[in-house]
Amino acid sequence: MNDDLSKRRLGRGLAALIGEMDQPTPVEAGKPGVNPDRLVPIEFINRNPKNPRRYFDESELHDLASSIRQHGIVQPVVVRTVSADRYEIIAGERRWRAAQLAGLIEIPVIVRDVDDKTALEIAIVENVQRADLNPLEEALGYEQLIAEHGYTQNDLGEIIGKSRSHVANSLRLLKLPEQVRDMLAGGSLSAGHARALVSTSDPATLARTIVSKGMSVRDAERLAQNDIKAQNDPRPLAARKDDKDSDTLALERTLSDTLGLDVAINHRGSGGQVKISYKTLEQLEEICRLLERR
């Protein structure tokens, strides 16, 4: 079986498993849920250290714990066996954490026999589909699959049900300095704000400006474009021309979002120049593939 076909089938398999986890079937009369394989003492279950999700809102966990005390766990935690009496979470870490807060001694689980690679894929797909990851966690999850299991951006797009450009734009966030990444993870910067800063000269300073002034994504993009133009223009500041018009900036943003790369448009009379910046051979190869399809 060729790799492309294998990965397409894998993507459908992951979607089927997640659908199975969500499919309501009668557990008790009048109570929706998914039939668990067994009840397992909660201390026998460990989190997956490679789960891309790192941040769990404490107030939401306590709310879920209160619900669990009243109604129990309606949806079992999906785990895999790691030894005779130990299990590792594949999906459902939030429920496991809330169950501990609720004081449960044992919880219902569904046991699946999967390897490290598939466990990571399921964790990422489940979290992305349910919008449980912040943009930085999502990007780090994609990076893990690429680095550890050889996935391309196209492969990831097929498996998670997103476009290749979405994956590329997510990965661009990992180029930002730690201070900006912390702001992104904490929610003070959105992914749109952060993407605008990737190619700027001082992302941390610009990020602080964006947050302190409550700037919109469009305002942040203009701020970033002005910074990038200043980097690329060798003339003194007084000699530079006015900013690009809003139509040109909008077209640059559209092309950049489509390609997942930095794009600059410079008009020269009735013609002009489109500059696409890439930093890896994979990005260059992807540009070539896109042009060949036209």
φ and ψ at residue 11, rounded to 5 degrees: -60, -45
| Sign of the alpha-carbon torsion through 98, 102, 105, 110 | negative
Provide CB contacts within 8 A for 228, sequence distance 6+: 199, 200, 201, 262, 264
One-letter identity of residue 67? S
Q: Which helix (H) or strand (E) holds 46?
A: strand 45-46
Question: Catalytic residue among 20, 60, 88, 93, which?
Answer: 93
Query: How many residues appear in the chain?
Result: 294
Question: CB–CB of 209/223 below 8 Å?
Answer: yes
How many C-beta neighbours within 10 Å does residue 209 have?
A: 14
φ and ψ at residue 181, rounded to 5 degrees: -65, -35
Beta strands 106-111 and 38-41 are: antiparallel
**Is residue 93 flagged as an active site residue?**
yes
Closest CA to 120 of 98, 150, 164: 150
The helix/strand/coil state of 258 is helix
Residues serving a catalytic function are 93
